Amino acid sequence: HASAPPPVADVRLGGWTKARVGWSITGAIFLLWALWAFIDNGTLFVALLGAGLAKGAVVSLAAVGFIMIMKATGIANFAQGDLITIGGFLGLWATSKVLPAHDGLGLSLGVGYLLVLGIMFVLGIVIERVAYAPLSKRTHDVHVVVIATLGVAIILRTLMAVWQGTEPRFLRSWFNTGEDLDGFLVFSNGVLRINIGFLGIDDAVISAQRVVIMVVTAVVVLLIMGLFSRTSFGRQVRAIAADRETARLYGVKASRMSMLSFGISALLAGLAGIMIGPLGSFDLTLGFSYMLLGFAAAVLGGFGSLGGTV
């Protein structure tokens, strides 16, 4: 097939496209606003910046989950939000024996959370086998499969409500007040306090759990980027994203790639749920807002650029 002609730069804008000019103006306005907010109250600005970056980190995990499945299958998995919720509920079930956890295992945080991530990976594969694989063989209409993922989300939420109830939950963390690492390194009583006198920052407080979220997300995103760029799995998924039928002719097992993509995506959602849980109480609607924001981030990133999406 003939390739599309390359876009011709608009010389009236000095070689810049209208979109680039628009985003540049938007970025400049944002930076000016941020500078004004910092000058107005530097302590509050730093505290809110920490909270915003932590929330953005969780949104990034949700968005990366969308991208992985989109690359491997060409569909958007709208069960991603409820998978985040399930991660939080399973985290409580695995690490607690007291109410509101039902049938809790009472495992240590490390063992319990690793068990949850394993369960989430398997659950992702089950969703692929039940909701995606049968329909993809019967129809080429992606909208049918997308609606099926919404159905899966409703089923998962209902089953979790029947099993664990609808009461608000709260997860433990190593870094919360009174836990093992509440005074680890720069943390004190479960928080990070920032004091920079000459900048007017006086005792800005950021929760230790939010710092952990940012660090863990950065590590995970770097690992996912390495997975896509330096492994056979990543090359095969990128080949499927470029041309599914040609990739299959070259021996790429598309069904196996879609299973692994669903599994990794669910694992990321479970990790997000575990990290959000200790920030405050949560219920069955925990993951919905993060799913919407994650989808928006994936759209802005073009469903292709992990770095742009993050």
Nearest to 142 by CA among 240, 74, 212, 216: 74
pLDDT tens-digit readout, 129-157:
988 888 877 766 778 888 999 999 999 99
pLDDT tens-digit readout, 117-134:
999 999 999 999 988 888
Q: Label residues 98-109 b or e (16+ Cβ within 10 Å = b).
A: eeebeebeebeb
The neighbouring-strand residues paired with 206 are: 192
Looking at residue 11, its pLDDT comes to 55
Nearest to 265 by CA among 24, 16, 68: 68
Q: Please compute, for residue 17, the number of CA atoms within 13 A of its CA located in the half-sphere on the CB side.
A: 5
10 Å CB burial of residue 155 (0-12, 13-18, 19+) is: middle
> What average pLDDT score do residues 179-208 get?
82
* Contact (Cβ atoms closer than 8 angstroms) between residue 105 and residue 97: yes
Phi-psi region of 165 (alpha: psi -120 to 50; beta: other; left: phi over 0): left
* Contact (Cβ atoms closer than 8 angstroms) between residue 79 and residue 94: no
pLDDT tens-digit readout, 75-115:
889 999 999 999 999 999 999 988 888 888 999 999 999 99
Residue tagged 């742009």 (tokens): 308
The helix (H) or strand (E) run that includes residue 217 is helix 208-230
> What average pLDDT score do residues 26-51 get?
93
Q: How far apart are the first and last CA of the chain?
A: 33
pTM check: above 0.75: yes
Phi, psi of 207 (to 5 degrees): -60, 140
Q: Is the dihedral of CA 173, 175, 176, 179 positive or negative?
A: positive
Q: What's the pLDDT band for 9 if we cut at 50, 70, 90? A: low
